[in-house]
Amino acid sequence: MKPMFNPSLMCMDLLNIKEQIQVLNKRADFYHVDIMDGHFVKNITLSPDFVKAIHPICDIPLDCHLMVTTPDDFIEPLAKAGAGFICPHAETINSEAFRIINKIHDNGCKVGVVLNPATPVSYIKHYIHKLDKITVMSVDPGFSGQPFIPEMLDKIRELKQLKEENGYHYLIEVDGSCNKRTFKQLTEAGTEVFVVGSTGLFGLDSNLETAWDKMIADFNQEVNA
């Protein structure tokens, strides 16, 4: 499978959103939108209103990562705003996971689930077959630029094995410290979608086209080494 890249929009230059979206429309596979409530994680970044504002100029799916305590409150607003994927954390939905998953699908969106570093794959085993994407957090959630947690490679391998053995259709995504230092080991473990933020993309050059070219060169150089 061709690697897919999911730029984290909270790391972009928010003073030049339209210009940067136009650059990424031609290159990226998804847009990663972090929705935070100040409770599940301590900070607050983007919102359903942000999704609504940029949706008209986006040519690829908006992938909404819900770092919120009550994801049910965000499903309908995000679906109406134009979300393509809605991805709550498993830690926030397991008391009502099937209802939440069905609600996301019923609102016309694909369903992802996000696993914190300390959350095992077994936590989602009863509904894993219903998921369109599983995101492995390779850093603790809430802040960009954290160091990679190497123990997550075994979790990625486990998801890859389960997918192959059972014919599941979910995409395997990694969020956190996807960059030149980790591309090779993440790819070898089974990562299919890379969330790229400050270290992987936006910090490589002030010109986003140049930064993207550098990222792809880094990826190809490391993975093919």
**pLDDT of amino acid 36:** 79
Q: How far apart are CA 67 and CA 177, in angstroms?
A: 17
The question of whether 154 is a catalytic residue gets the answer no
Of 29, 63, 132, 175, the active-site residue reads 175
Cα 125 to Cα 195: distance, rounded to the nearest angstrom: 24
- For the chain, which domains are there? 4-223 (3.20.20.70)
* 126 among annotated binding-site residues: no
Query: Are 136 and 174 a contacting pair, CB within 8 Å?
Result: yes
177 is in an annotated binding site: yes
Residues 138-190 pLDDT 10s: 998 755 556 899 999 999 999 999 999 999 999 999 999 999 999 999 999 99
DSSP secondary structure letter of residue 148: P
- The 10s digit of each residue's pLDDT in 83-108 is 999 999 999 998 999 999 999 999 99
- Cα 113 from chain centre: 10
Q: Exactly one of 34, 49, 132, 218 is catalytic; which is it?
A: 34
Q: Is 129 annotated as a binding residue?
A: no
Annotated active-site residue 34? The verdict is yes
> What would the pLDDT profile of 101-130 be if each residue is shown by its tens digit?
999 999 999 999 999 999 999 999 999 999
Q: How many CB atoms lie within 10 A of CB 173?
A: 28
Which pLDDT belongs to residue 69?
Answer: 84
Number of helices (H), then strands (E), in the chain: 8, 8
Q: Is 63 annotated as a binding residue?
A: no
Nearest CA to 137 out of 185, 199, 74, 67 is that of 67
Strand duo 85-88 + 110-115: pairing: parallel
